[in-house]
Amino acid sequence: MLAGCGREAVTQEETKDSLFLGAQRCLSENRGEEAFKLFSRLCAQRSDYCPETHFELGQLYLSLKKDPIFAIYHFRQYLIQEPEGKRVHLVLQMIETAKKEFSRTLPLNDRYSESPEYLNLIEVLKQVRSENAHLKTQLAQLRLSKEEAKQSIDEVVVPVHSDENHHERTYTVQNEDSLSKISLKMYGSAVKWNIIYEANRDILPSANSLKIGMKLRIPPLPAQKTRRTP
């Protein structure tokens, strides 16, 4: 865990990065797509700790990309990395907004209720709600006791995986697949899509460039890194 001034120093280093500053400049000039690309590059480079970048990407996925699932993923990463951050209450509100946006994409007509696409969306939504509720519990514990919070956050960031998630696998893209759906199938969680995306950047120019029949590498889930002060 990052603590005190050590965490603030790393956050300042993140916000002074040339990619972060360039992305902010693009946002001020209404060049959202360019800002999105810069923030995405910075997130890939600083994958272990970049809460402010995750916050910005969450907003862009929600407002620019109209993708509430990816927005929730980045907002949750902010909460995990900055459980006592100044934006916690705002991020929780934005997660609720993203959940409402996602629910609007679900078909309302009963004749769609048994379709595979509908059922997949329902499963993704259940997973996100479950993980978000668990995270809220961890944040509440953090406010009550710092010592209890350390244990609860360790439980969040060091998940237990089944044996099959320790070996690289291959997945063939199917009709109506998305990275979040594939993540749900292969890892049991829709929010781990970025692991698959990063492992296949040589054939995926963007997260939305899946093609039916494409062979994707499914890497083993990495052990979650934690930062602790000496």
Which one has a higher pLDDT value, 46 or 146? 46
Strand extents, DSSP E, the chain: 169-172, 215-218
Q: How many CA atoms lie within 13 A of 76 on its CB side?
A: 26
What is the per-residue pLDDT for 58? 94
Q: Is residue 76 within 8 Å of 130, Cβ to Cβ?
A: no
Q: Is residue 78 within 8 Å of 138, Cβ to Cβ?
A: no
For domain 4-158, give the CATH superfamily: Tetratricopeptide repeat domain (1.25.40.10)
**Burial environment of residue 158 by CB neighbours within 10 A (0 to 12, 13 to 18, 19 or more):** exposed
Q: Quote the mean pLDDT of the chain.
A: 80
pLDDT above 80 for 110: no
**Burial environment of residue 42 by CB neighbours within 10 A (0 to 12, 13 to 18, 19 or more):** buried
Strands 215-218 and 169-172: antiparallel
Q: Which of 119, 125, 157, 120 is nearest to 138 (CA)?
A: 157
What is the per-residue pLDDT for 161? 46
161-220, CATH topology level: Membrane-bound Lytic Murein Transglycosylase D; Chain A (3.10.350)
Distance (Å, whole) CA 58 – CA 128: 14
Give the mean model confidence (pLDDT) for residues 107-125.
57
- Enter the pTM of the model: 0.48
Show the tokens assigned to 186.
């292969």
pLDDT digits (tens, 9 = 90+) for 140-180: 777 665 655 454 444 444 344 455 566 789 999 998 889 98
Domain ranges of the chain: 4-158, 161-220
What is the per-residue pLDDT for 2? 47
Q: Which of 216, 195, 186, 159 is nearest to 43 (CA)?
A: 195
What is the per-residue pLDDT for 122? 67
What is the per-residue pLDDT for 159? 43
Q: At a CB cut-off of 8 Å and minimum separation 6, what does 26 contact?
A: 32, 34, 35, 38
pLDDT digits (tens, 9 = 90+) for 87-109: 999 999 999 999 988 887 766 55
What is the per-residue pLDDT for 68? 92
Give the mean model confidence (pLDDT) for residues 205-223.
88
Q: End-to-end CA distance of the chain, in Å?
A: 11
Q: Is residue 182 within 8 Å of 199, Cβ to Cβ?
A: no
pLDDT class of 137 with cuts at 50, 70, 90: confident
